[in-house]
Amino acid sequence: MKGPFEAFRFLRALDAYSDRMASFTPISPAALAELLAERACARPGRVVMAISAADAADPMDLAKRVVDTLRTAGRPAHAVALHDFVRPASLRLEHGRTDEQSYRSSWFDYDALDREVVSSLKERHRFLPRLWDETTDRSARARRIDAADDHVIIVAGPMLLGRGLTFDTTVDLRMSKGALERRTPSDHRWTIAPLLAHSADASPGADIVVRFEHPDRPALRVS
């Protein structure tokens, strides 16, 4: 029987093979933001889009670009950072500061994100933009925002796929191990293994896949 690490290597190899077989086309960061804004505008009513990506990809930067594009087009929009929905340090660091399994399962409060943003937008027509201040390790004390009938929320952060969250559209900014190693600070490189493992495990995949080896030169998967 294959051990867990052999299975992980197999899944990564399969994922890499799928990427090689897929067709990608270059797209500028500005055009990518416009494309995602157009995808959000194509859906009626309140919309939640996820941009799943490692911190090395700075997904909030893209999320803010999409929000700016939407607002320019007259559509109300907000960007929500997953890092504003972390668990308290007493839970995140229960097994140490560099525990890989904790990063995958206990670092971010995906249940709270669902309760306060994803489901709340659809069911209660309001959302909480921030829950927890990661720096001060205290409540963010943010006020809930009433959502317009056509409000768009862009949620950005690591490992958003495969969590059972009912996003309307999902985007995966995909980075290889090499790209992650280049762009991740040395004191955070312990997160690379759990990020890659989650990417291999996450199902279903994203609606929109972007190769993000170089954030200034992304490439969009077209087949």
Q: Which amino acid is at 48?
A: V
pLDDT score of 20: 58
Residues 6 or more apart in contact with residue 15 via CB below 8 angstroms = 199, 200
Give the C-alpha separation, 168 to 217, whole Å. Answer: 26
- Exposure on the CB side of residue 193, measured as CA atoms within 13 A: 9
H helices within 77-154, ranges in order? 89-92, 100-105, 110-113, 119-123
Read off the pTM. Answer: 0.90
Task: Look at residue 8 in the predicted model and tell me its pLDDT.
Answer: 44
Smallest Cα–Cα separation from 28: which of 62, 53, 72? 62
Low-confidence ranges of the chain (pLDDT < 70): 1-21, 223
What letter represents residue 25's amino acid? T
**Which tokens belong to 121?**
């937008």
| Rounded Cα distance, 199 and 190, in Å | 15
Q: Is 169 helix (H, G, I), strand (E, B) or coil?
A: strand
Going along the chain from its start, the domains and CATH numbers come out as 28-221 (3.40.50.300)
